[in-house]
Structure 1
Amino acid sequence: MKIHVLQHVPFEGPGTITDWCRSHGHQMDTTPLYSPDHRLPSTDVVDMLIIMGGPMGVYDEETYPWLKTEKGFIHDFLQLDKPVLGICLGAQLLAVCNGAVVRPAPQKEIGWFPVKQTAAARNEPWFYSLFKNDPILFHWHGDRFEIPKGAVELAFTEANDNQAFLLNKKVLGLQFHAEVNEDGLRQMVQEGLHELQEGTYIQSAEILLASPSFNTAHPIMWAILDHLITFIPCH
């Protein structure tokens, strides 16, 4: 299968998604949108699309002109009825491309915090089984998406609601980072030190680096990918 990743900055890469692709024998290609000479693929050669996070906002098209092109690409891909995963900024882009709005979150959230599932998540047994014990996962965001029309809100945290949504069974937006690995975490902390101001839901760099929950997060990420890939149409 051909998995395509849209990456917005060098320091927010696919993390353990790369390991999953390698383990399952899937081809993974990446478009580095931050590169001036990047090229988007034809949508028909992509089996599953994964949209990564980034520090920019979904509406920052003046500063990042490629955001407009990316939104068009995502919109076109959504018409193909193939699985899509959006993470953090990627989830916000999915929300906007499906008619929802992204706004500043009530609380900026940076750290390792439990993710709880909504009552509606019980209607998605695969998701319920992964999140029934409120896993501690990594967060780094100051915005939040509204739930698109027709989508199901699946998760929330103490700080913010709308942490995950599912649309048409195969389009999944996650506000949190289950994909981040040790190298990615270190890079995100290094690049985002200026954001680690005192706050109720903002942990220090020392805590962020000393409290990783990769053993919890990565199996969840792999299970999510295992589920989504079942929706790839047969060739």
Structure 2
Amino acid sequence: MISRVALHECPHTATCFFEGIGSIDKWLNQRNANVSYSRFYESNDLPALSEIDIVIIMGGPMSVHDESEFPWLVEEKRFLREAISAGIPILGICLGAQLLASALGAKIYKNSQKEIGWFDITKVPNPGFQFPDTIKVFHWHGETFTLPPGAVHLARSAACEQQAFQYGENIIGLQFHLETTQETINSLIKNCNDELISDIYIQPETSIKYEKIENFGKINNLMSLILNYITKINSYKS
């Protein structure tokens, strides 16, 4: 039973958080989860590991290297290392995946291409979580990471080799956003429209906003499967 969730949210400015957790909110509500929020634009306080069943780390515009500007990054990475050692299930998304990879000893660096919009990822044969062979997912990132030592490579895309990894049985990092809903996309575009420049792996606003509705359902369902997998709520079937 999942009753205590530590959710980490990173700000886009000192006073502004707008991405939200999208479809993860429904998954948590279905389980009557008690969610603690670490909102680093409000407080640097982190929850006690003894009070947590799962850690979910969300995205943000900063780099994992921006510790002088955002000193809470140091404490968050320390917290993640301790949560990993304690065997707590962890899901990292976008910046969250980069923070998780960094905590596991990976190198974080600028990707050769920014990737913003709806692009395919493909499954990498592995002994862990099984993605579909190919699925279109939502991306918004400019940095990437090396595969953490001891981790399993799960997925790649044409623009970015490291799209997903698994460490142990209950830790997964996703460079992309399976939690995306129409509302979270609208909010991102409203607040980050200046990033939608013309480039090979950056789609225009219209292509991003008016993606087929069934694709939201597909990625949100996959998000739930991953959460189920790392928390072992249901028997996982690939």
| Deviations 1:32-53 (CA, angstroms, capped at 9, x unpaired) | 1122x34211111011000001
Measure the CA separation in 1 of the matches of 2:154 and 2:45: 33
Question: Could you tell me how far 1:26 is from its partner in structure 2?
Answer: 2.0
RMSD across aligned positions (CA):
1.3
2:84 to 62, 78, 83: 78
| Deviations 1:59-109 (CA, angstroms, capped at 9, x unpaired) | 011111111121111111111111100000000001110111101111110
Q: What residue identity is the alignment partner of 2:30?
A: S
Measure the CA separation in 1 of the matches of 2:70 and 2:18: 17
Measure the CA separation in 1 of the matches of 2:183 and 2:44: 24
Q: Matches of residues 108-127 of structure 1 in structure 2 within 5 Å? A: 108-120=114-126, 123-124=127-128, 127=129
Measure the CA separation in 2 of the matches of 1:99 and 1:160: 19
Measure the CA separation in 1 of the matches of 2:143 and 2:182: 24
| Deviations 1:5-26 (CA, angstroms, capped at 9, x unpaired) | 1000212221111110111222
Moved segments of 4+, more than 4 Å:
none
TM-score where L is the length of structure 1: 0.91
- Secondary structure of residue in 1 paired with 2:154: strand
Measure the CA separation in 1 of the matches of 2:145 and 2:50: 28
The question of 1:58 aligning with 2:60 is answered no
Q: What residue identity is the alignment partner of 2:113?
A: Q
Q: Report which stretch shifted further, 170-179 or 26-35.
A: 26-35
Q: Is the 8 A contact 1:164 1:175 kept in 2?
A: yes
Q: Is the 8 A contact 1:18 1:28 kept in 2?
A: no
- Secondary structure of residue in 1 paired with 2:203: coil
Q: Is the 8 A contact 2:94 2:174 kept in 1?
A: yes
Q: Which residue of 2 aligns with 1:20?
A: 27
Q: Is the 8 A contact 1:153 1:164 kept in 2?
A: yes
The question of 1:153 aligning with 2:153 is answered yes
- Secondary structure of residue in 1 paired with 2:169: coil
Structure 2 unmatched ranges of 5 or more: 12-16, 234-238
Q: What residue identity is the alignment partner of 1:197?
A: I
Q: Is the 8 A contact 2:36 2:47 kept in 1?
A: no
Q: What residue identity is the alignment partner of 2:187?
A: Q
Measure the CA separation in 2 of the matches of 1:145 and 1:181: 26
Q: What residue identity is the alignment partner of 1:182?
A: Q
Q: Is the 8 A contact 1:85 1:172 kept in 2?
A: yes
Measure the CA separation in 1 of the matches of 2:55 and 2:211: 30
The question of 1:33 aligning with 2:35 is answered no
Q: Which residue of 2 aligns with 1:181?
A: 181
Measure the CA separation in 2 of the matches of 1:38 and 1:101: 25
- Secondary structure of residue in 2 paired with 1:194: helix
The question of 1:196 aligning with 2:196 is answered yes
Q: Matches of residues 69-108 of structure 1 in structure 2 within 5 Å? A: 69-108=75-114
| Deviations 1:189-218 (CA, angstroms, capped at 9, x unpaired) | 111111111110000111111115211110
| Deviations 1:99-124 (CA, angstroms, capped at 9, x unpaired) | 1110111111000011101122xx23
Measure the CA separation in 2 of the matches of 1:206 and 1:63: 34
Q: Which residue of 1 aligns with 2:236?
A: none
Question: Could you tell me how far 1:175 is from its partner in structure 2?
Answer: 0.2
The alignment of Structure 1 onto Structure 2 pairs a total of residues equal to: 224
Which structure shows the higher helix fraction? 1
Measure the CA separation in 2 of the matches of 1:171 and 1:178: 16
Measure the CA separation in 1 of the matches of 2:112 and 2:94: 16
Structure 1 unmatched ranges of 5 or more: none
Q: What residue identity is the alignment partner of 2:105?
A: G
